[in-house]
Structure 1
């Protein structure tokens, strides 16, 4: 005869096994943690994606990576620079075309002029007044392309003898028109007053007499989204690829230089201002001494203020009336009224509105239907809200007099 034997353990063997397994897997766990930390650091310290419009490194629709890559494939060395000193160094290194995209107008006219002198050819993207001042009298803005012309993205014919423009044939309309020695892709810009006699014509691509400086009034044709439209690509590649090197310069706030030591604002004031200020200060001091001694020190006196409940209810109703929250205001006032009535009638705090109305009817002897009509039917207009708030307040006083 065999007997069943039950073997009982003290739990120590299982705990020891778990500790041994954890000790053996500790190097693996530490390796996983270290790997996770390395991946996290790489993700956080990785280069930020370029999102600037018309940037040669931006692959999004507003960027211009497509133009930069095609130029590089054709043998043009595209050098992207972000500082004024780097741009000067690149232009001094050898023959190069400068593409200047400065929508914030960080550069001064003298800086633009120095860049133009060093560049073999310069193309400016929609330059502002400060940049145009560095070009002398060769260019001037005519005005923005009318919305009815640029809204449907039509094309504009070259309309000039410039080789780059005639090779492109057409250009997507948009941007700003400029006047110059050679105006290509002409558009008519209306006068601000709408008078046809004040209309002016300018070009979306304008050059000086020898073609060494060009103004591109529609820089959006260089974007990845529009470069394949019309003749945009042909104009972009010919205008920017005429030299072995293309210096793609996008100025930043660090390129802003001071134009002088600054002007002390006080030098702009008339000479009699300082004596007047001293005289007014003396008058103010005398006035404080005179009135201060006569009136004496300030004394504080507590003034009790009692606001009646009716005024509080009406004031809250007026606030809700101004915000046109009739339903919310009525529901809030009704909830407060029922809560006070329930407390005074010794009804449970969690009682429903119907239970409070039943208790009020028993306590006051009023018909239950009358209480329901006055408490459960909410007003719908601002005028009804004010009257209804006063009505339920009077009803509360009648049922539960304080």
Structure 2
């Protein structure tokens, strides 16, 4: 019930003081229902309690349903396709499925090891190892394991650290120009001369046999997109786009890739992952993985937090003493109980309290004992006022169904008390 619509009578009737109400006459009430003086709990039925609890838990239920729906949709729509760059199973523009399928059509057996150990076991005479590790998952010891195998190694845009282990004679020059252009072969390598030209870009390298030279973006020095060692047992392809589905058909990219990777009957296509990280006996300190500026920043944030706490924090003053016991006005407690009934929407329970309080006051006014039943109080009130007993019973036994009816019910009870008090 709204506070604006609640008359003073409602608050007065809901007095918090314990009052001994007359005992109800269960047989005199329709259906043998108990009177308001015997209301247990909050006066609500099991269904009302269930509805109230359901309304309280509805936000949590909706949140659970949303989370469950997101998990189900993520599980159902999750793609199992290989999306790694240069992967032989990736059909996207950045994959290399087209190149691998052509190599297989030409009789080359392509092996896709799932781990570092499988890659080592697959290497032997008559094999070519293709390695692309831009994230540097393999350490120097693991890379050195490939040098002991009698297999040709083809590297895609390797780093300086990887070249120091696998091909010390080759070094990096820097990134080449990204402008769309083609560079022509300027060496005696048979594979490069057969390709004629390839697309420019990627990283530039220098070594014993340099092909497809282009200017570096850093210092303007010349770098080559394809470099091999003197005995051609290691080859470096600086522009990885030459091997992708998107760039394989440009210029002579396909010719170079097919000749370099298809020179042996077996091709081991190895793309290291996080599972290939070498584990050590000592745990990794997470603080060593953070940049150097993180620690000063954390100290500065801690200082700022302390200043903000001192600035905006609650400052407790001296304790205030108050004499006890504290006297609270009855109107304040009645209004507080009325607000509790309003928040919990316990209309029937509030009506039952009003009815019990009215019967108790009428019994004292009519000089009836505390053991008087509801019927005896109504009979005495009918004699005092001269009104028909059914009219009084209808007023007292009325059960309101809403806030507006509750206000009207309390006003009728107040008018009945005033009428009896004036007799």
What is the TM-score when the length of structure 1 is the normalising length?
0.51
1:299 to partner: Cα distance: 6.0
- Displacement of 1:98: 0.3
Gaps of 5+ in 2: 1-71, 287-315, 321-423
Pairwise CA distance, 1:138: 1.0
CA distance in 1 between counterparts of 2:207 and 2:194 reads 20
How do 1:129-168 residues align onto structure 2 when only pairs under 5 Å count?
Answer: 129-146=160-177, 150-151=178-179, 153-168=180-195
Counterpart CA distance in 2 for 1:54 and 1:264 is 32
Relative distance call for 1:264 and 1:99 in structure 2 (3 A) is closer
Q: Tell me the secondary structure at the aligned position of residue 138 of structure 1.
A: coil
Moved over 2 A (4+): 43-47, 258-265, 298-302
Alpha-carbon RMSD across the aligned residues, in angstroms, is: 2.7
Aligned residue number for residue 225 of structure 1:
246
**SS of the residue 1:115 aligns to:** helix
Higher RCO (Cα < 8 Å, 6 or more apart): 2
Q: Provide closer, same or farther for how the CA distance between residues 261 and 46 of structure 1 changes in structure 2, counting only shifts above 3 A.
A: closer
- Cα drift, residue 213 of structure 1: 0.2
Q: Which residue of 1 aligns with 2:230?
A: 209
Q: Residue 63 of structure 1 aligns with which residue?
A: 95
For residue 55 of structure 1, report the CA deviation from its aligned partner: 0.6
Report if aligned partners of 1:109, 1:132 keep a CA contact under 8 Å in 2. Answer: no
- Contact residue 98 and residue 119 of structure 1 kept, 8 A: no
C-alpha distance in structure 1 between counterparts of 2:128 and 2:253, whole Å: 18
Residues 2-401 of structure 1 correspond to what in structure 2 (within 5 A)? 48-92=80-124, 94-146=125-177, 150-151=178-179, 153-191=180-218, 198-258=219-279, 261=282, 300-301=318-319
CA contact (8 A) 1:107 1:130 kept: no
CA distance in 2, matches of 1:130, 1:236: 24
Separation (CA, whole Å) in 2 of partners of 1:77 and 1:47: 27
Shift of 1:81: 1.5
Judge conservation of contact 1:170–1:232 (CA < 8 Å) in 2.
Answer: yes
Q: Partner of 2:148: helix, strand, or coil?
A: helix
Aligned mates of 2:259, 2:95 — CA distance in 1: 19
The answer (yes or no) to whether the contact 1:108–1:130 under 8 Å persists in 2 is no
- CA offset at residue 53 of structure 1? 1.1
TM-score (norm 2): 0.48
Q: Which structure has the larger Rg over C-alpha atoms?
A: 2
Gaps spanning 5+ residues in structure 1: where?
1-39, 192-197, 266-297, 303-402
Q: Is the 8 A contact 2:167 2:234 kept in 1?
A: no
CA distance in 2, matches of 1:78, 1:264: 39
| Residues 120 and 243 in structure 1, CA contact (< 8 A), matched pair in contact too | no
Whole-Å Cα distance in 2 between the matches of residues 259 and 243 of structure 1?
A: 36
- CA distance in 1 between counterparts of 2:187 and 2:217 reads 21
Q: Say if 1:262 and 1:133 are closer, same or farther in 2 by CA, change over 3 A.
A: farther
